[in-house]
Amino acid sequence: MPHLPSINPATGEVVGEVPITPATEVQAAVDRARKAQPAWNDLGLDGRATVLKRAAAILNERAAAHGELITREMGKPLREGLAEARSLGESLAREVDEMVEALEPEVLEDGVGRSTVYHDPLGVVGAITPWNFPMSMPSWMVLPALVAGNSVILKPSEETPLCGQAYADALNEVLPAGVLTVVHGADDQGKALVQSNVDMIAFTGSREVGKHILRESSGTLKRVVLELGGKDPMIVLDDADIEKAATFAAFNSFRNCGQVCVSTERIFVLDSIADEFEAALSGLAAAMTVGNGLDDVDVGPMVNAGQRDHVLAQVDAAVASGAIVLTGGRGHHDNFVTPTVLTGVTEAMEIGHIETFGPVACVTRVSSDDEAVQRANDTHFGLGAVVFGGDEARTSAVARRLTAGMIGVNRGVGGVVGTPWVGARESGFGFHKSKDGHRQFTQTRVLTRSL
């Protein structure tokens, strides 16, 4: 059987390998998962929650090893890999409890009848997960599907198969056989899973692949949840705390080497403060260290050479079209890209409208709040957006005019516990987290009796 090697993007060394699942065998894996699902469902909501909570101790015990694996396999700095790995076990019990609460039956009466709203399993869920958060993203899809009583087929990214397998291995130590299955491979295996008779596909990745999944799923009207990235804007108003705004812009443009779906990719700054903001952001970017994530660095490598080439091609094309490099733009080598700040970026440039997914901050000067909002909304995407300003009413008014699923005011886009992770426009179809997000992994049934 052929194997899929996992390559450390910082060194080019082979981290490990997994057996590739022949695409012709994916449907058989789905069939086995379907046979295992009824017994898992029969445990009931509380029974399934009890089983899954046992995995928390396993994930906590392995957090250090998992964190290092994340760094070796996809490149992010070790402290970020450890934070991702530790969050899995630390939050599992709380998240399971949230899911149980969301899926409990609801009773409604109107004086004539009594309706009970049930949230039942769909059957078999296919989860296709990305490489940039190679353990937390599987958890976002696998955990709510399992709590709901589904069995799951997980296809982790071919860039990070070891992380996906390690996460599944931890859960499978407590799960009944056949409830969670991993298939490994690339496009052929993903397409086979979408074309199989699974009842739902949950996917995080590119907009183009998401559209393909939506088309392929239409024949049988599979349930689909898609999180498709973005081209997130940041607006800096002229009464903003410039140091705070620049610090956030540097963090959110360059963390995980810019390989985050809600990275800040377009920054619109009011003219009167643009010089000061650009100087602050450029200074922060220039001070960042780049290298192997296992060392004490701020920025690791791009995940592979293809992603590196995409980023550098966008930068070169922007500069050729008139953008100015304030810092960075040189010193790139192997899969390492120097944090780069560009100014004078326009929507006509590819980097102004196509997702970069790399360590590049693009600054555009604007003359008014209205222009900032218009240009921020001039995109097919709509995942997140951020506004920095001093006056609360003005900043909130600008934020409410932005076409995005999640908007941060003087902070990032992540909401408080219980809020959905949701995109607008072509950044999403359905959403994760929250009661409504958890319920997307279920079939709603309404049973009504007369009073």
CA 162 to chain centre: 18
The single residue of 163, 257, 261, 362 carrying the catalytic annotation is 261
Query: Dmax over Cα atoms in the chain, in whole Å?
Result: 75
Report CA-CA distances (Å) from 177 to 34, 98, 145, 350. Answer: 12, 25, 16, 48
Residue 104 bears catalytic tag? no
Q: How far apart are CA 239 and CA 246, in angstroms?
A: 13
Return the H-helix or E-strand segment holding 444: strand 442-450
* Count of other CB atoms within 10 angstroms of residue 290: 21
- How far apart (Å, rounded) are the C-alpha atoms in residues 328 and 162? 33
**Structural contact between residues 423 and 228, judged by C-beta atoms closer than 8 angstroms:** yes
Distance CA 364, CA 340 (A): 14
Cβ-proximal residues to 215 (8 Å cutoff; 6+ apart), any chain: none
Instruction: Retrieve residue 25's tokens.
Output: 């065998």
d(CA 196, CA 125): 11
Report phi then psi at 387, rounded to 5.
-130, 130
Which of 80, 95, 227, 265 is the catalytic position?
A: 227
Active site residue 347: no
Which residues are known catalytic residues?
Answer: 227, 261
